[in-house]
Structure formats: C-alpha cells, structure tokens
Amino acid sequence: MRWAQITDTGLSRKDNEDSLLVSPDMGLLAVADGMGGHQGGEVASGLALQTLEKELARSLKKGESPEKALLDSVRLANIAVFELSGRNKELHGMGTTITACLKREDDLIIAHVGDSRAYLICRGSIRQLTQDHSLVQELLRNGGISEEQALQHPQRNLLTRALGTEQSVEVDHYRYKVVANDLLLLCTDGLTRYLRQEDLLYIINSSKDIDAAVHVLLDKALHYGGADNITIILAQF
C-alpha cells in the first residue's frame, strides 16, 4: 500500500480540529473531524484515533476477527471521548466524526460515524462507500432537496450521529472487495462541501501521482472557499 496525506486548517478557522491516522502495519487508515468549544474538537478527534489504533492493535493481536476488532475499537473510542467530555468542563459536549478503513487481503472493512467519507476509485470510476449521518443526507434521501441544494444548505454541517456525544453510538460498518491499483480516498467534509464526486474523480485521474492529487484536491477546496478544516488520505493498494 502506498498513500499520501494532507491536512489544512482552511481559510476561516484558527484551529485544525481534524485528525488523521495511517498505520501501514495494520492496514488501517482513518480520518476524524472534531467538534466542540475551546480545544474540544481537536481533543475529540485526536483521542478517538489514538484509542482506535491502540485498541485495534490489541484486539487483532488477541486473534479477534478484523471486523469485530474494528467495530469494538470504534465503540471504545466513543466511550473514551464521552468520558473525557464528562470529566472536563471545558471539553463538555465535544464529539467527532470517524471513518476508519481496515485492509485485510482483498477485503476493505469500514467503520463509520458522521459525515466524513470514504470513496473507492476503481477502473476509472468512483463510488462513495459511506453514508453521511447528517440532516442534509436525510433530506436528500427523502427527496426533500436536490444535490445542488445540499451543497448550499445552511444546515449542511448538522450531524444526526457523532462519536463521543452519547455513552453508546451506532456504528455503520461495510465490507468491500478491492483489487490491485484500486484507490481509497478518505476525507473530511471540508473537501466534499466544495467538490462533487465527479470533481474528485477528475482530479485524481488527471494527477501524475497520489501525492500530486492530494495537493490539487486541497488547492481546489481552498480556491472554492476553504471555510472548514480539510483532511485527505489517498491510498493505492
């Protein structure tokens, strides 16, 4: 596996509340987009990914199945964020998205909460692998708004599910087959609020390599507004 990664505060925020993680030995890649007052968002996303990495390594070493190990680790990350939020008044109410992918041979196992996303680029086409847990996604699913309206919706950042805001959380999980030269794109919504799926595909396909692609993706998001933190991982299997 080869990968490129980049994260940027964006043009409007003072702090970067996104976090990212790549652990090649485990085949683990993850992004998290934190939320909360003071430094809450940064703490939530960082703690979630630290807990994920530690607990997943422990579970896999014990011989647990990769899917159970990943899901259990995300649930433990939820508890870690929730409990710290309860102990520290300045961090009260913090939370984070999480999109974590575990590569095992030709399987890609995903655990997901929130509106960060995973995409698979295969044979010149792109497919979104996760579903957003957001008000806008609910409206889209029910036919209340169009995709164009979703991009400009004033409540597009409102999540219906997040990690760490409750003692327990429902974690979506997916399993996909991948083949050699497939590309996995993980990103926070600082990218996808500005670039459509077809834009992502065009930039990745027209870039000379994955390192160039992540820089062009970031530059385009900044050019079109860059009002949020932007985090991108692009991996080639």
Q: What is the pLDDT of residue 55?
A: 98
Residue 219's CATH number: 3.60.40.10
- 100 neighbors 52 (Cβ within 8 angstroms): yes
235 has a pLDDT exceeding 60:
yes
Distance CA 69, CA 61 (A): 10
Q: What is the pLDDT of residue 44?
A: 98
Structural domain total, the chain: 1
Q: What is the pLDDT of residue 28?
A: 98
pTM for this predicted structure:
0.94
Domain that holds residue 94: 2-236
Average pLDDT for residues 154-167, to the nearest whole number?
A: 85
Query: Model confidence over 93-147: pLDDT tens digits?
Result: 999 999 999 999 999 999 999 999 999 999 999 999 999 998 776 776 666 666 6
Query: Model confidence over 30-44: pLDDT tens digits?
Result: 999 999 876 899 999
Q: What is the pLDDT of residue 150?
A: 61
Distance CA 59, CA 54 (A): 9
Residue 212, helix vs strand vs coil = helix
Q: What is the pLDDT of residue 145?
A: 65
156 has a pLDDT exceeding 90:
no
E strand map for the chain: 2-8, 18-23, 28-35, 95-96, 98-104, 107-113, 117-122, 125-128, 172-177, 183-187, 230-236
